């Protein structure tokens, strides 16, 4: 049995490791076009800011370490250029030597990831304009941000990476401005809840330019300012473009593999594509929204891990499923945690639910215990049966706990009444006798 894996970050390495455990005898080869595998891309903002001091900490395994630990061959700087699903061949170029090569597989796992979206902005070729995806991107941004002459940073896009980098640059002493096309930061959140994040950013001296986009990057060889569509000119020694990513699905598409409406590779719960013996996993692949049953694409390390593990197991002859996601996301923004899951009111209504939104504010733990902080929760409940369909949690410590309880409740199809009945763990350092989740349930029951 020969298993080829294209891509060696989260999904690819999870797939290879799991395939090895499932089939100790298989030949398993990872083809990775870069020089790093298995790195924690989500940790890059903290590496850039210096909170994570050592670059190596981000890299779970070097290629060699992975080979040693799992008995998997790792071919770095190997770019796969073509898949022939009839002959079960992949054709690659060794970017180090320039030589072409081919590999015959029995099973193929595509884990090609995603890439930052880079529209053809005027002046985008200037120095000090970056995207953040790889460890090398992180190295470059860190070096530029730490230069003595770098005082001002502009971030384009107020999504998770944009805001995490706003914190990083601010911690590094750069005056930071975030430009966002939408009228709010964190577009997947409701506007009302996003305002709490905007307040936190402003308190931490981050400038926000909402409802505006980039028209051009100006300057000489080096960036000097960012000009917005509304005509604002923002001085900038450095700019980060973080307006989103797109699935790396071209290779698959060229091979006749079906691509979904999201632009990512269509797969079923077994991670199988439409072509026999070809699996896809991670940021290049779709998932299913467990509430609506529709295709969803939310590229995240946690999903990549689960999908990779599932693809690896199945490619090696096992049988495993990943049923889908509910689009959970979380981010730390200075002293706030912002998290969401499930459907927003608008999404729910678009999918035929009549819903009620319920917003509460509660303490993270007993008010008398030091460190008490406020947690804001918004829940979206179905009017007919009180079922919880979605939630947003923004607040201090313990916000991550509440979102994970609500994630579990949503996947269990719990109702407002069920939330009140949860026997959640109570002691003063951890919660209040009435936990925030119970309060949400109580208020929702009354309102429904």
Instruction: Tell me how far apart the alpha carbons of residues 39 and 384 are, in angstroms, rounded to a whole number.
Output: 45
235 backbone φψ class: left, alpha, beta (φ>0; ψ -120 to 50): beta
Q: Smallest gap, in angstroms, from Cβ of residue 367 to its own copies?
A: 8
| Token reading at 227 | 């000009």
Instruction: Tell me how far apart the alpha carbons of residues 97 and 92 are, in angstroms, rounded to a whole number.
Output: 12
Q: Smallest gap, in angstroms, from Cβ of residue 17 to its own copies?
A: 11
Q: Smallest gap, in angstroms, from Cβ of residue 41 to its own copies?
A: 10
For its own copies, the binding residue among 330, 355, 388, 394 (CB under 8 A) is: 330
Which residues lie closer than 8 Å to 305 by C-beta, 6 or more apart?
A: 10, 11, 14
Residues 332 and 160: beta-carbon distance below 8 Å: no
State which residue, 80 or 333, has the beta carbon closest to its own copies: 333
Query: Which part of the chain contacts its own copies (CB under 8 A), choosing from 96-104, 147-155, 319-327, 378-386?
Result: 319-327
For its own copies (CB under 8 A), the number of binding residues is 70
Question: Contacts with its own copies in 248-307 (CB under 8 A)?
Answer: 290, 300-306
For its own copies, the binding residue among 215, 227, 275, 424 (CB under 8 A) is: 424
Instruction: Tell me how far apart the alpha carbons of residues 164 and 299 are, in angstroms, rounded to a whole number.
Output: 16
Question: Contacts with its own copies in 36-95 (CB under 8 A)?
Answer: 40, 42-43, 46-47, 51-52, 57-58
Told to check if 96 binds its own copies by CB under 8 A, we report no
How many CB atoms lie under 10 A from the CB of residue 284? 32
DSSP state of 361: E
Instruction: Tell me how far apart the alpha carbons of residues 133 and 306 are, in angstroms, rounded to a whole number.
Output: 20
Query: Which part of the chain contacts its own copies (CB under 8 A), choosing from 126-134, 146-154, 352-360, 419-427?
Result: 419-427
Told to check if 110 binds its own copies by CB under 8 A, we report no
Told to check if 415 binds its own copies by CB under 8 A, we report no
Q: Smallest gap, in angstroms, from Cβ of residue 298 to its own copies?
A: 9
Sign of the four-CA dihedral 406, 409, 414, 420: negative
Catalytic residue among 1, 42, 59, 210: 42
User: Considering only CA atoms, which of 4, 17, 72, 26 is closest in space to residue 316?
Assistant: 26
Q: Smallest gap, in angstroms, from Cβ of residue 67 to its own copies?
A: 21
DSSP state of 266: P
Q: Which long-range contacts (CB under 8 A, 24 or more apart) does 93-101 make?
A: 95/33
Active site residue 42: yes
Instruction: Tell me how far apart the alpha carbons of residues 185 and 394 are, in angstroms, rounded to a whole number.
Output: 13
Q: Smallest gap, in angstroms, from Cβ of residue 58 to its own copies?
A: 6
Q: In the complex, which residues of this chain contact its own copies (CB under 8 A)?
A: 10, 40, 42-43, 46-47, 51-52, 57-58, 160, 290, 300-306, 309, 322-332, 337, 339, 341, 366-370, 398, 400-401, 403-405, 407-409, 411-412, 414, 418, 420-431, 433-435, 437-438, 442
Q: Which of the residues are catalytic?
A: 42
């Amino acid at each position: 049995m020969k298993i080829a894996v294209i891509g060696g970050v989260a999904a690819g390495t999870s797939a290879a490791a799991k395939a090895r455990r499932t089939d100790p005898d298989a030949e398993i080869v990872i083809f990775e076009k870069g020089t790093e595998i298995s790195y924690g891309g989500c940790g890059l903002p903290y590496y850039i800011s210096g909170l994570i001091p050592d670059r190596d900490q981000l890299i779970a395994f070097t290629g060699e370490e992975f080979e040693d630990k799992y008995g998997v061959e790792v071919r770095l700087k190997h770019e796969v250029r073509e898949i022939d699903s009839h002959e079960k061949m992949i054709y690659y170029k060794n970017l180090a030597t320039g030589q072409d090569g081919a590999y015959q597989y029995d099973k193929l796992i595509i884990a090609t990831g995603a890439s930052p979206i880079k529209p053809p902005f005027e002046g985008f070729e200037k120095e000090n304009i970056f995207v953040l995806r790889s460890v090398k991107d992180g190295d470059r941004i860190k070096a530029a941000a730490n230069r003595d002459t770098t005082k001002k940073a502009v971030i384009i896009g107020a999504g998770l990476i944009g805001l995490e980098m706003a914190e990083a640059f601010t911690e590094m002493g750069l005056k930071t401005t975030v430009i966002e096309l939408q009228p709010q930061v964190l577009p997947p959140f409701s506007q009302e809840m996003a305002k709490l994040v905007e307040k936190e950013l402003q308190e931490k001296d981050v400038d926000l330019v909402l409802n505006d986009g980039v028209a051009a990057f100006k300057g000489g060889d080096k960036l000097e300012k960012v000009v917005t569509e509304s005509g604002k000119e923002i001085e900038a020694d450095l700019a980060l473009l973080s307006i989103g990513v797109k699935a790396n699905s071209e290779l698959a598409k060229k091979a006749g593999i079906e691509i979904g409406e999201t632009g990512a590779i269509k797969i079923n719960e077994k991670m199988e594509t439409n072509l026999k013996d070809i699996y896809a996993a991670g940021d290049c692949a779709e998932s299913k929204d467990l509430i609506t049953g529709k295709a969803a694409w939310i590229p995240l390390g946690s999903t990549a891990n689960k999908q990779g593990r599932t693809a690896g197991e199945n490619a090696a002859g096992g049988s495993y499923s990943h049923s889908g996601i509910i689009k959970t996301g979380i981010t730390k923004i200075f002293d706030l945690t912002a998290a969401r899951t499930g459907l927003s009111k608008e999404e729910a209504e678009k999918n035929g639910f009549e819903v009620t939104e319920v917003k509460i504010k509660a303490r993270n733990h007993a008010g008398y215990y030091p460190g008490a902080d406020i947690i804001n929760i918004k829940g979206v409940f179905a009017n007919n049966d009180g079922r919880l369909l979605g939630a947003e949690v923004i607040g201090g410590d313990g916000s991550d706990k509440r979102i994970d309880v609500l994630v579990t409740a949503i996947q269990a199809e719990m109702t407002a009444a069920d939330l009140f009945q949860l026997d959640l763990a109570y002691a003063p350092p951890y919660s209040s006798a009435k936990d925030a989740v119970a309060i949400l349930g109580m208020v929702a029951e009354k309102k429904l």
